[in-house]
Structures are given as structure tokens and as C-alpha cells.
Amino acid sequence: MSLPPMNFKQFMHRSRVLSMYRSMLRMTKNLEPATRDETRAFVRREIEMTRRETDPHLIRYHTTQLRQTIRQIESMVSHGGTPK
């Protein structure tokens, strides 16, 4: 099933989400493999669940939630987390 064409605002939102996802991937690269894989899978599931969302309010809500989740991951990693 293909997605409908994006307008500019949707394109920019998608770019921000992908940027946050790549940032999370970089931040978790030094975690213990099991923790890293679980963290990455969790964030990926969160993104995939809202992939086809079209309501701008829900998109904003989910983006805020994703940003908070990534901040928590960043905090965990910077305060020791579980390095490999």
C-alpha cells in the first residue's frame, strides 16, 4: 500500500522524525547489544504505529512524545546506561 503524495509541511515533519530516529541510532550505538536492540525496536515501533497518521494534532502529539522518549534515552546513555 503506497502513501499519498506529501505536501511540504508533511515532508518537513517526516524529515524531522527521520532526523530524530537517526540521532537515537547514533546515541545507542555503545549500549550493550540487547539493550541497544530493545531500545531501537521500541522507538521504531512507536514511529511505525503513527506512520499513516493524517490528523495534524495527533501528529504533533506523537512527535512530542517521540522527542521526550529520545531525551530519556539520551539521559540514560549520558548517565551511564548499560555500556557494552
Q: What is the pLDDT of residue 82?
A: 54
54/82: higher pLDDT: 54
Question: Global pTM?
Answer: 0.78
Q: What is the pLDDT of residue 61?
A: 92
What is the band of 23 on the pLDDT scale with cuts at 50, 70, 90?
very high
CA quadruple 74, 69, 12, 4: dihedral sign? positive
Please name the residue ranges forming H helices in the chain.
Answer: 8-27, 33-49, 56-78
DSSP state of 31: B
Taking residue 17's Cβ as centre, other Cβ atoms within 10 Å add up to: 18
